[in-house]
Structure 1
Amino acid sequence: MSEIGVRPAEVADVERVLAFWRRAAEGTSVSDDVPGVAGLVARDPGALLLAESAGELVGTVIAGFDGWRCHLYRLAVAPERRRQGVATVLLDAAERRFVALGGRRADAMVLRRNTLAGHAWSANGYGPQAEWERWVKPLPR
């Protein structure tokens, strides 16, 4: 297995990331389009982290910090690279980013039906918080 490097995404990576998510991510987001991902990269340049091995994109995670809470989204690993430590490398990088920004606790959005992801999150020290549930409202575009 080649060494895995992690770097922040750039606007030039947006199309590549979207194609990767269609192949490797579970579920879709209302923001899974060029304006959504490019807007993330422009607003918070260090938030979208890419894991690469020998020039190939093998994983992603969004490590967003709003000054109050540390949020993790879109942890995705290439199907052929799962169970090889890619998620751990990405989460380590995200957690280092949070600590450097003054974050105190990270939370992750994990689809209930995605049991494979649940195993990855659990293996990295995360667990569901039973006393909370997510409420959402789509905003007009």
Structure 2
Amino acid sequence: MSDLRIRPAGLTDIDTVLRFWREAAEGTSISDDHDGVARLISRDPEALLLAERDGRLVGTVIAGFDGWRCSVYRLAVHPGSRRQGIATALMEAAEERFLALGGRRADAMVLEANERAHHTWAAGGYHREDHWRRWVKPLSD
């Protein structure tokens, strides 16, 4: 795994990240556009972590901390690079970031139908909390 490099995304990475998510990520988000990712990077320049191998993007995770909660989104690994420890390395980097910022617990958004992701998160020590449900309200059309 020594050839894997994990670094924060910059504004110049946005188009590459959006293309990557269309191929590697499950589901979509209302913020999966250039402006949404640019806002994330501008507000918290170290939240979007990229995993690269040989200069090629092979994985992503968003490790957001608002001072209260540590939230994990968009853990995605390229289909041709799965089962090589990339997700584990990204999660370790996210958790190190949270600890350095004073975070106490990480919460991950995981699609119900994404069984493969359930196994990945469980292997990383995460567990489902069935007594919580996510409630959402779009703020724009």
**Shared fold by TM > 0.5?**
yes
Q: How many residues align?
A: 141
Aligned counterparts of 1:61 and 1:75: Cα–Cα separation in 2: 4
Q: After the TM superposition, which residues 66-105 of structure 1 pair with which residues of structure 2 at under 5 Å, given as runs?
A: 66-105=66-105
1:127 Cα deviation after fit: 1.1
Q: Is the 8 A contact 1:2 1:54 kept in 2?
A: no
1:2 Cα deviation after fit: 6.5
Aligned residue in 2 for 1:10 = 10
Aligned residue in 2 for 1:22 = 22
Aligned residue in 1 for 2:109 = 109
Aligned counterparts of 1:124 and 1:4: Cα–Cα separation in 2: 19
Deviations 1:42-95 (A, max 9, x none): 000000000001101000000000000000000000001111100000000000
Q: Which amino acid in 2 is paired with 1:104?
A: R
- What is the root-mean-square deviation of aligned Cα atoms in Å? 1.0
Aligned counterparts of 1:35 and 1:126: Cα–Cα separation in 2: 31
User: Tell me, what secondary structure is at the counterpart of 2:90?
Assistant: helix
Aligned counterparts of 2:105 and 2:2: Cα–Cα separation in 1: 31
User: Tell me, what secondary structure is at the counterpart of 2:131?
Assistant: coil
Q: Is the 8 A contact 1:2 1:53 kept in 2?
A: no
1:140 Cα deviation after fit: 2.0
Aligned counterparts of 2:114 and 2:47: Cα–Cα separation in 1: 23
Report sequence identity in percent. Answer: 65
Q: Deviation above 4 Å: which 4+ runs of structure 1?
A: none
| TM-score normalized by the length of structure 1 | 0.97
User: Tell me, what secondary structure is at the counterpart of 1:63?
Assistant: strand
Aligned counterparts of 1:25 and 1:93: Cα–Cα separation in 2: 19
Q: Which amino acid in 1 is paired with 2:72?
A: L
Deviations 1:18-39 (A, max 9, x none): 0000000000000000000011
1:11 Cα deviation after fit: 0.2
Classify 1:30/1:123 alpha carbon distance in 2 versus 1 (closer, same or farther; 3 Å): same
Q: Which amino acid in 2 is paired with 1:68?
A: W
User: Tell me, what secondary structure is at the counterpart of 1:13?
Assistant: helix
